[in-house]
Structure 1
């Protein structure tokens, strides 16, 4: 099997449809089917079966997929090590970033970084912090910027520890909150649990939730138009002076805070592109 066969198998498994996989790989459907049949012929076994929902892997195919994933990771690491042998900052930076940080901070970070290190090729994946953490654990990214607390025993740097705020279009007292419409933005489990615990400490009735939205930006826009109040990290409201915002506190007087961390493995730091990016990000957030 060749490198492109691993890519084919992984893509077909993700799409669960040969035609869609062929489109994604810029191949014709007959050409892709021919490659899959040759793989089965070479291995002497069936690796895919057609079902009502598309295609699925046989047990042999599942085993082969695990091998393909391992080979793709090893090949990526091989390329990174070879590119790093020259005495300059180059190679590939595989970055995973929280969607919120990607929206507010990452574009300027990457622009300045690539201006300083134009020989670095950047691959970026964004999403909820739990997703980014899984990508780091699976070694699909070499650097993670994520929000919240995650167990990690290797390289770890605190970038931000921002307050969590009550946000509304007009001043509002805490005692009014149960009776006013609340707007909720989709977030990850740990932050949602923080909100819920804070609410339980302060009120004995549930909030009056009127909107459940898929992004912090949409939530902020609804609040700006006076449609309700929300609880948001400061990063989402700090530049919007038209909003009323007030940091929240636990019963013991400690502020509610949302940390942002940079995580990577010690081995990833051996790569010049990773080292340069980590130092660049630390400088950026030190000046915030």
Structure 2
């Protein structure tokens, strides 16, 4: 089997649908079906069953699909190690980055890094921090940038801290919050737990959630248009001047701080591209200059 075959198996296993898998692989459906049939002949087993509910992997197919992840990772590491032998800072840096950091910090950060190392390319995977944490645990990315606290015993670097704010188009009395319309978004579990704890310390009534959205940026736009108040990280409000912002604090007077971390494996520093990026991050003021 060649690398492309492992990729075909992994993609089809993730999608469970011939049409979607073919689209992701940029090949035709007949070509994908033919490749699976060739693999079935090569191994002498049936890999998938096709039915009304899509593609179902046989036990043998499940095993091969599980192997695909490890094989693709092994091939990727092999390529990186070969490139690394030349002592050049070149190749593809694989980053896993939280949605929030991607929206507000990542583009300028990568631009500055690319100016220093023009031969580096990027493969960026974005998502919720819990997903990014899983990617770095599994070594699917070289570096993970996450918000919140995760159990991580390898190398980490604090990128920034930000407070959590109540944002409102009109001036409000904090004690009136239970009676005011609130706009909620799908925050990560760590932030949601902190905000819920703060709420329970101050109010006996649940919040009056009138609108729910998926992204913090959408939530902010709703606030700007006067549709209600929201509880948002301060960084998301840096570009907004015409809203009132109230930093929320716990009973002991301390603000809720949301930390952003860079996580990576110490062994990955053997790669020139990873070491260069880590050195770059540790010497740039991410919070104030990016």
TM class by shorter chain equals over 0.9
Alignment-derived partner of residue 142 in structure 1: 142
For residues 137-159 of structure 1, give each alpha carbon's deviation from its aligned partner in whole angstroms, at most 9, with x where no partner exists: 12111101110000101110111
Alignment-derived partner of residue 28 in structure 1: 28
Partner Cα separation in structure 2 for residue 206 and residue 284 of structure 1: 42
Alignment-derived partner of residue 243 in structure 1: 243
Q: 117-126 or 19-28, which moves further after superposition?
A: 19-28
Q: Report the RMSD for the aligned CA atoms in angstroms.
A: 1.3
Partner Cα separation in structure 1 for residue 185 and residue 272 of structure 2: 38
Alignment-derived partner of residue 273 in structure 2: 273
Answer yes or no: is the 8 Å Cα contact 2:186–2:215 preserved in 1. Answer: yes
Answer yes or no: is the 8 Å Cα contact 1:93–1:120 preserved in 2. Answer: yes
Partner Cα separation in structure 2 for residue 201 and residue 217 of structure 1: 27
Alignment-derived partner of residue 100 in structure 1: 100
For residues 8-48 of structure 1, give each alpha carbon's deviation from its aligned partner in whole angstroms, at most 9, with x where no partner exists: 11111122122332233232322222221121111111111
- After TM superposition, give the deviation of residue 287 of structure 1 in Å: 6.2
For residues 36-89 of structure 1, give each alpha carbon's deviation from its aligned partner in whole angstroms, at most 9, with x where no partner exists: 112111111111111221111111111111111111000111111111111221
Change (3 A) 1:183 1:23: closer
Q: 241-250 or 278-287, which moves further after superposition?
A: 278-287
Alignment-derived partner of residue 171 in structure 1: 171
Partner Cα separation in structure 2 for residue 243 and residue 30 of structure 1: 55
Answer yes or no: is the 8 Å Cα contact 1:109–1:284 preserved in 2. Answer: no
Partner Cα separation in structure 2 for residue 286 and residue 111 of structure 1: 13
Q: 60-69 or 275-284, which moves further after superposition?
A: 275-284
TM-score (norm 2): 0.96
- After TM superposition, give the deviation of residue 195 of structure 1 in Å: 1.0
- Structure 1: runs of 5+ lacking an equivalent: none
Change (3 A) 1:31 1:286: closer
Alignment-derived partner of residue 13 in structure 1: 13
Partner Cα separation in structure 2 for residue 196 and residue 30 of structure 1: 51
Partner Cα separation in structure 1 for residue 287 and residue 226 of structure 2: 34
Matches within 5 A, 1:1-288: 1-285=1-285, 288=288
- Structure 2: runs of 5+ lacking an equivalent: none
For residues 213-272 of structure 1, give each alpha carbon's deviation from its aligned partner in whole angstroms, at most 9, with x where no partner exists: 111111111111221111100011122121111111111111111100000001111111
Q: Secondary structure at the match of 2:35?
A: helix
Answer yes or no: is the 8 Å Cα contact 2:222–2:228 preserved in 1. Answer: yes
Aligned residue-pair number: 288
- After TM superposition, give the deviation of residue 110 of structure 1 in Å: 0.6
